[in-house]
Amino acid sequence: MKMKKDKGILIKNLAKTHENKWVALSADRKKILASSISLKSLKEKIGDNKVIYTRILPANISFAF
């Protein structure tokens, strides 16, 4: 029996509407709990809930930082 080795996380509810936005991830980083164009408004939506903030990069663009 093959063991699953790939540990990559594909966020369950990731959608095109999240592109270039701030998102609040669940603690296990598997689900987007809320999103917004600005961090300020996202934090207002989230309140005191424990989340991880990040930004969703647009698809169809390759990045070299």
User: Residue 47 interacts with other proteins (CB under 8 A)?
Assistant: no
Q: What is the three-class DSSP state of 33?
A: strand
Q: What is the three-class DSSP state of 8?
A: coil
Environment class of 37 (CB within 10 Å of its CB; exposed 0-12, middle 13-18, buried 19+): exposed
Closest CB to other proteins among residues 1, 61: 61
User: Residue 6 interacts with other proteins (CB under 8 A)?
Assistant: yes
β-strands 22-25, 52-55: how paired? antiparallel
User: Residue 63 interacts with other proteins (CB under 8 A)?
Assistant: yes
User: Residue 41 interacts with other proteins (CB under 8 A)?
Assistant: no
User: Can you give the binding site for other proteins, defined by CB under 8 A?
Assistant: 5-11, 14-16, 20, 22, 25, 29, 38-40, 43, 50-60, 63-65
